[in-house]
Structure 1
Amino acid sequence: MPSDDEEISTQWTKSLTPEEHQRLEQQNTRLVSNHKANTLENEAKKHWDLFYKRNETRFFKDRHWSTREFTELLSDDENEKRRVLFEIGCGVGNFIFPLIEEKLDFKVFACDLSPRAIEILKTNPLYNLSETTAFQCDITTEDVHKHVEKDCIDIVTLIFVLSAIHPDKFTITLKNIFTVLKPGGLVLFRDYGLYDMAQIRFKPGNKIAENFYMRQDGTRSFYFSTDFVKSIFEIVGFEIMENTYIHRRTVNKKENVDVPRIFVQTKARKPA
């Protein structure tokens, strides 16, 4: 039985059982109303602010797997010019602070929709204003260009962020990212994959649109196929370098938990 930290990459999503097919069909019997869906969109910042008010730093674990999965973050060239990293949807710093602990040589920009998340991030002892600039921003708008210049970023990280954004705004979000990246710059993307167990477990009344759902706390989640990720990145002008499903089983024998998870991991480049 695979342990919690074992992952298997494959080009294919999972095959659904008849029971899983039925559960997905049942989700269509009662959808989120248009009024509710519009309210969720308009109050997205409020719901994420409440999320961080309740959970502070306790919900997400630090992502110490990042340099293993994204070796592009590492550099063996001591003479290389200092790189600039932009983490979008930084939350309370679960991605950037492990990189700082590893003493990777980056100038870091970090933004989040939630002002409270940014406030919490700045209280971390590892936060150094001369090395890291964190700010509140809605990446689906042009506000990002008030904080980050065009063509100045070497690497953008987009880790479990795009799924929280309305699908109608995926293209403008990726265009904003494309604009701040240097020619040849990279996007490192990881998010929820199609038919992830979390998607299948949603009950009727939670589905907003195809593969897009409302959680109980008012936050939202989209579930991606590799084909869909490829299409939205290429529409904006990115070149796809890697695009795969990550299959993982989280196992806790003491609590009798065995949960299959599916993620999509993509590496895309702005043409030089």
Structure 2
Amino acid sequence: MAQATRPTSDVCNSSSDLASSESPVQIKGQTVRILTNEELEKLQRDQILVSHFKQQKLEKEAQKNWDLFYKRNTTKFFKDRHWTTREFEELKACKKFEAQKLVLLEAGCGVGNCIFPLLAEDANIFVYACDFSPRAVEFVKENPLFCSKRCKVFQCDLTSEELQVNIPADSVDVVTLIFVLSAIHPDKMHLSLENIYRVLKPGGIVLFRDYGLYDHAMLRFKSGNKLGENFYVRQDGTRSFFFSRELLVELFTGAGFQSLVNEYVMRETVNKKEGLCVPRVFLQSKFSKPE
């Protein structure tokens, strides 16, 4: 389940994490973004849900819709995520010594925009990488930087297929879950987290980043795209959920994790094409598996 319309940009209801240019200033905190009266009225008006029949069809065709996304966009939609080591110092700090081999799982790897910068930066990282889309997995394997000695990539539905088929239990130091959980139906999110829990070492860490409640992308959805509370469908059939801190902690602790950090990240993104400066809200969190 990769990090999805994804129409054209992040501010157009896409799940691209940072497609437009951004202000370098960001604010982290535990308080949800305060809506304007206009935004509040819009959300209160939008109460009509997509039909049960269509919702079942979207769930059934979820993998096909992701594959079509990658067929249209190939490897050109997302920028490489060079910010991960800056935002998540655990990718370096969890090593006890410089030459230690770090074992990482990128759950929802897309076409490799996170894993290839990490592999290039640190020779002592081995990466397991999986994605819901078989087409995305093939793009990772076709990347010139792909090396089977340093990376094992495979297709996996985190909600129904055991990671332990490809990864030994209790063997992963760090899991990155970046713009992935939001694409999974809320009723199945706990299954993904329980699956991840089983391959993570005791003391291991999950680094999480995804859409936060009242992000601009949430407010841009038009009437008729709502699937449930804070859950929407894009034009291409891919879906997006917007998390509150409270719900995220409930999901992770319910799967056995301990909460270390759980913050909203607020920043402004400039959409030059539309001449807009829009508020972005992400949730950035760290959870550990008890020793």
- The TM-score normalised by the length of structure 1 is 0.95
- In structure 2, the residue matched to 1:105 is 124
Which of 84, 104, 115 aligns to 1:66? It is: 84
Q: How does 1:9-48 map to 2 (within 5 A)?
A: 9-28=28-47, 30-48=48-66
Q: Please state whether the residue corresponding to 1:47 is helix, strand or coil.
A: helix
- In structure 1, the residue matched to 2:257 is 238
Q: Please state whether the residue corresponding to 2:24 is helix, strand or coil.
A: coil
- Hey, what's the Cα distance between the residues in 2 that align with 1:64 and 1:157? 14
Preserved CA contact (<8 Å) 2:109 2:131: yes
- Hey, what's the Cα distance between the residues in 2 that align with 1:227 and 1:153? 26
Deviations along 1:219-239, one digit per CA (max 9) or x if unpaired, are 000000011111111111111
Shift of 1:255: 5.5
- In structure 2, the residue matched to 1:203 is 222
Q: Please state whether the residue corresponding to 1:129 is helix, strand or coil.
A: coil
Which of 154, 158, 165 aligns to 1:139? It is: 158
Aligned length: 270
- Hey, what's the Cα distance between the residues in 2 that align with 1:38 and 1:5? 41
Which of 125, 133, 141 aligns to 1:122? It is: 141
- In structure 2, the residue matched to 1:51 is 69
Unaligned runs of 5+ in 2: 1-20
Identity of aligned residues (%): 54
Q: Please state whether the residue corresponding to 2:265 is helix, strand or coil.
A: strand
Which of 26, 33, 41 aligns to 1:7? It is: 26
Shift of 1:16: 1.1
Shift of 1:252: 5.1
- Hey, what's the Cα distance between the residues in 1 that align with 2:143 and 2:159? 27
Unaligned runs of 5+ in 1: none
Deviations along 1:189-215, one digit per CA (max 9) or x if unpaired, are 000000001111111110001111000
Shift of 1:79: 5.5
Deviations along 1:153-180, one digit per CA (max 9) or x if unpaired, are 1111100000000000111111111111
Shift of 1:251: 2.2
- Hey, what's the Cα distance between the residues in 1 that align with 2:254 and 2:271? 41
> Which amino acid counterpart does residue 140 of structure 2 have in structure 1?
L
Structure 1 pair 214–78 and aligned structure 2 pair: CA distance change class (3 A): same
